[in-house]
Amino acid sequence: MICDMEEKHAAVVVELHCRYLSGLLADLGKNVVKIFYEVVSASEKGFGYVYVENGQVLGFVFATVDHPGLYREVIRRGNVRLLSSVFFALLKNPRLIKEAISHLRNGHRASSPELSYIAVDERERGRGIGEALIERLNEGFRRRDIHYYELSVDGDNEVARKFYEDRSFVLCYEFSECGLLRCRYSLTIGS
């Protein structure tokens, strides 16, 4: 069963995010990721779904309709808890400071709607959970009268790239982010 992501799902979504996804948010640690999902689960600038079976969350997808606006809202609503968690994470791992600055300057993140995060428990992969989450996400975009969105994936993640390409996502361009090759994909969805 796929249902809307809610604050009650935050703990499991945090675990899946930190276990299976790379990037600055995961590198900042579980506390920052938890605050992020608590805030975004109540935002109109983003939406997500979880795949639940026998009471267990096996995967999730999260998207933004206004990427810059969502992150401004996360900072505003997460305020002191978020800022202090980020500060301590950066103190523990100063290498992340350069990455954080790079993300703040990142020009490829336009205000296009975006599939921001998707993760499926590795023990459950190959069962169609990721595809079901993408289909539900497409329905969610259509309900919001959005018929185009983008996503980024690590350039060396051949499994993810094939997954998206097999579902009609189109490679738009490649770019470097914090010294890593990234690929920007897009999907146009019908009415």
What is the SS3 assignment for the chain? CEEECCHHHHHHHHHHHHHHCCCHHHHCCHHHHHHHHHHHCCCCCEEEEEEEECCEEEEEEEEECCHHHHHHHHHHHHHHHHHHHHHHHHHHCCHHHHHHHHHHHCCCCCCCCEEEEEEECHHHCCCCHHHHHHHHHHHHHHHCCCCEEEEEEECCCHHHHHHHHCCCCEEEEEEEECCEEEEEEEEECCC
Q: Using alpha carbons only, what angle is made at residue 119 by residues 116 and 120, rounded to the nearest 5 degrees?
A: 155
Q: How far, in Å, CA of 68 to CA of 44, rounded? A: 13
- The pLDDT > 70 percentage for the chain reads 91
Q: Which domains does the chain have, with CATH numbers?
A: 2-142 (3.40.630)
Q: How far, in Å, CA of 167 to CA of 156, rounded? A: 19
pLDDT of residue 107: 46
Of the candidates 104, 106, 105, 109, which has an alpha carbon nearest to the alpha carbon of residue 149? 109
Residues of the chain with pLDDT under 70: 78-79, 99-111, 178, 191
Edge-first strand order for the sheet with 56-64 is: 2-4, 46-53, 56-64, 114-120, 148-154, 180-188, 170-177
pLDDT of residue 108: 45
Residues 128-175: tens digit of each pLDDT: 999 999 999 999 999 999 999 999 999 999 999 999 999 999 999 998
